[in-house]
Amino acid sequence: MRYDFNTDREFDIIAIGRACIDLNAVEYNRPMEETMTFTKYVGGSPANIAIGCSKLGLKAGFIGKISDDQHGRFIEQYMRNVGVDTSHMVVDQEGHKTGLAFTEIKSPEDCSILMYRENVADLYLKPSEVDEEYIKRSKILLVSGTALSKSPSREAVLKAISLAKKHDVKVIFELDYRPYTWISTDETSVYYSLVAEKADVVIGTRDEYDIMEGTKDGKNEETVRYLFQHSPDLIIIKHGVEGSYAYAKSGETFQANAYRTKVLKTFGAGDAYASAFLYALITGKDIETALKYGSASAAIVVSRHSSSDAMPKAEEIEQLIAERS
């Protein structure tokens, strides 16, 4: 089964949300307190997804706000150099800063992220900075859940979603739950449900759907039954190394296993998965194959040091799938 997009659009995907910096521990297998050196990469889930899509050959654009300093300029330059259209990245004029994510690699299975996100520029994107003419040029609007956590970014994203729906741009909602940005899980649940009900495709981990539904140990079948009463016609639920599922409104279900690999760290998996899954869908592959692309890309990225810079080329993904099939 394939998923249809508007074919007459210049951009394959425009992502909206944060473009930040990851500082990844150079010394592995030790706690942050003992880590002395970090390597700098562009980060932020929607930026990583746009970068991943661009490296796979899609035409990707980005809507977001960056700081007016060296970090903001580094992010814009890196994204432009990998082919992402940065013409709608707005430079903050109010002194807000770039978000930082320090990653801790205690062991391949025990990784965490320490985020510094006080007064971050990305959450100050205003509705007036979202351009209808830009959004209507794309097949997809990729929305990151974290961008809903505060005003005015929240309203900017809601405006972008309305414009996407007006112009038949598919809304892909990546739940991307980062607890530190929200006041409470009740607040998250309100905004996640609101946007998931409007989206065409929802992508998230089982835990993230539980946050959306305000539940614990939720069941995929119940999540799907709820969301199919609304706009979504395709729902992706990831279960980490246990693999992932796609549920289509037509009633079909697809499953993919994770690919075993030599894991360096666990973060970056979700963003790699989303970019390769969307690449496969946009290039006309069936949903089952798209799940494999997502899983293979995630396996490649967890074996490498970064999330953004590590995003693979299509040939690398295809080679891994061929080797394991």
The torsion angles phi and psi of 275, rounded to 5 degrees, stand at -65, -40
Nearer to ligand ADP, 66 or 280 (CB): 280
Cβ at position 303, least distance to ligand ADP in Å: 8
Spell out the alpha helix ranges (H) of 182-286: 185-198, 206-213, 220-227, 269-282
Q: Which of residues 271-290 bind ligand ADP (CB under 6 A)?
A: 273
Partner touching 181 among ligand LHLMWEOZ, ligand ADP, none, CB below 5 to 8 Å by kind:
none
Rounded to whole angstroms, the Cα distance separating 31 from 305 reads: 16
**Which span sits near ligand ADP by CB under 6 A: 7-15, 159-167, 215-223, 237-245?**
237-245
Site for ligand ADP in 202-231 (CB under 6 A): 205
**Which of the choices ligand LHLMWEOZ, ligand ADP, none does residue 101 contact, using the CB cut-off of 5 to 8 A by kind?**
ligand LHLMWEOZ
State the minimum distance, in angstroms, from the CB of residue 118 to ligand LHLMWEOZ: 14
Residues 6+ apart with CB under 8 A from 283: none
State the sign of the Cα–Cα–Cα–Cα dihedral 299, 303, 308, 311.
Answer: negative
- With CB under 5 to 8 Å by kind, the binding choice for 45 among ligand ADP, ligand LHLMWEOZ, none is ligand LHLMWEOZ
**Rg of the Cα trace of the chain?**
18
Burial of 4 (0-12, 13-18, 19+ CB in 10 A): exposed
Alpha-carbon distance of 124 to 137, in angstroms, equals 24
Instruction: Name beta bridge partners: 25.
Output: 38
Owner of token pair 């659009």 = 9
- The binder of ligand ADP chosen from 298, 300, 317, 320 (CB under 6 A): 298
Tell the smallest beta-carbon distance from residue 186 to ligand ADP (Å): 22
Whether 279 and 287 have beta carbons less than 8 Å apart is answered as: no
How many angstroms separate the CA atoms of 216 and 75, rounded?
37
Pick one of ligand LHLMWEOZ, ligand ADP, none as the site partner of residue 241 (Cβ within 5 to 8 A by kind).
ligand ADP
x/- letters, 239..268, toward ligand ADP (CB under 6 A): -xx-xx-------------xx-x-x--x--
- Bridge partners of 204, per DSSP, are 237
| Interacting residue ranges for ligand ADP, rule: CB under 6 A | 205, 238, 240-241, 243-244, 258-259, 261, 263, 266, 269-270, 273, 295, 298-299, 302
